[in-house]
Amino acid sequence: MTTDSAWRTEAVRKLEADGNRSADTHLFRLELAGIPEIELYFKDESTHPTRSLKHRLARSLFLYAICNGWIDKGMTVIEASSGSTAVSEAYFARLLGLDFIAVMPKSTSPEKVQAIEFYGGRCHYVDKGSEIYSAAEKLARETDGHYMDQFTYAERATDWRGNNNIAESIYRQLARENHPVPEWIVVSAGTGGTAATIGRYIRYQRFQTRLCVADPEISVFYDSFLESRDDLVIDAGSNVEGIGRPRCEPSFVRGVIDHMVKVPDAASFAAMRVLAERVDHLPGGSTGTNLYASLQVIRDMATAGTSGSVVTMLCDPGERYRETYYADDWLAEKGFHIQPYRDQINRFLDTGDWQEVEP
């Protein structure tokens, strides 16, 4: 099949023009009063036009698919997603005049569904997170459409050596800081694409920075890393939207990761709330996971007497989770006890003293 070359040329121009109209995302600091020798930064990915780090991924996936001749004029684009990717892809599909269908677990937050529909996308629900892949493949066959498959292609659709990817942007923005080369960059993994891009960039640039990946409770990534296995599967979906997977996704590149931390879901939600109280930004759940893992890395640096900087990410905005992670009755109903972790985090931020939480 050869794609319509006039359409393709125009589609690439529209994507590039959209990028050219957009600004870079900010790097802001969280004050660590109790650990003054260490600086913690958040790359705020919630300021993209579609409000999450998936904006970068969606643009890359469309460019990759179009340049590969996989998407043509009038085609339907289908994606398996826990929500954020579908929001961003719906935006780009509309920009290109393509129909878009998101295949999502029925537990996906109503705010994300609204955002997808706002951009003209349609939502197709499945009962469990593990069913999204086969349902998306089936829809693609039935509609003669293209299944984007972020979990396979996230890792390779992004230019990892530079081209203003997220890693290059972080290092550029750190240039005038006390410690321009961070000791650690801490991210969480959904596709694993962000970790792959940052990890490869660190090595390509020969930086001493190490990459830590935080995994939520219900996910195989942590065990897959520890045991060097790609065949682990579980039959449940993560409680932290956007991160943690029931299978070892092809885009999860273990070899670029230096360290992994398993974060209890209650700790993620506690960290998210603490951050919301201390900065003028409202983070989503995975940002809490990132913060909690970052604090453990910072604790270990402080114990070892190392000063330096740590960079993590604000992945998406808390407005999407007002009815869930920010609702006390939702947390209670699901059995998440966040108070012990809140106390632990506040104490550590204020005094530098880390007290373990009794399980």
Is the CB of 83 or the CB of 352 nearer to ligand PLP? 83
CB of 189 to ligand PLP, least distance (A): 4
Nearer to ligand PLP, 219 or 344 (CB): 219
Which residue ranges make up the site for ligand PLP (CB under 6 A)? Answer: 52-54, 84, 154, 188-195, 242-243, 284, 286, 315-316
> Minimum distance from CB of 199 to ligand PLP (Å)?
11
Question: Which residue is at the shortest CB distance from ligand PLP?
Answer: 242
Q: Closest CB to ligand PLP among 38 and 286?
A: 286
Report in angstroms how near the CB of residue 234 gets to ligand PLP at its nearest.
Answer: 18
- Residue 76 or 188: the one with the smaller Cβ distance to ligand PLP is 188
Compute the distance between CA of residue 216 and CA of residue 267 in angstroms, rounded to an integer. 9
Shortest distance (Å) from residue 23 CB to ligand PLP: 20
**In the complex, what is the shortest distance from the CB of residue 73 to ligand PLP, in angstroms, rounded to a whole number?**
28
Cβ atoms of residues 201 and 234 within 8 Å = no
Q: Which CB, 301 or 311, lies closer to ligand PLP?
A: 311
Please name which of 174, 179, 204, 154 lies closest in space to residue 42, comparing C-alpha atoms: 174
Least distance (Å) from ligand PLP to the CB of residue 7?
29
User: Which is nearer to ligand PLP, 53 or 77 (by Cβ)?
Assistant: 53
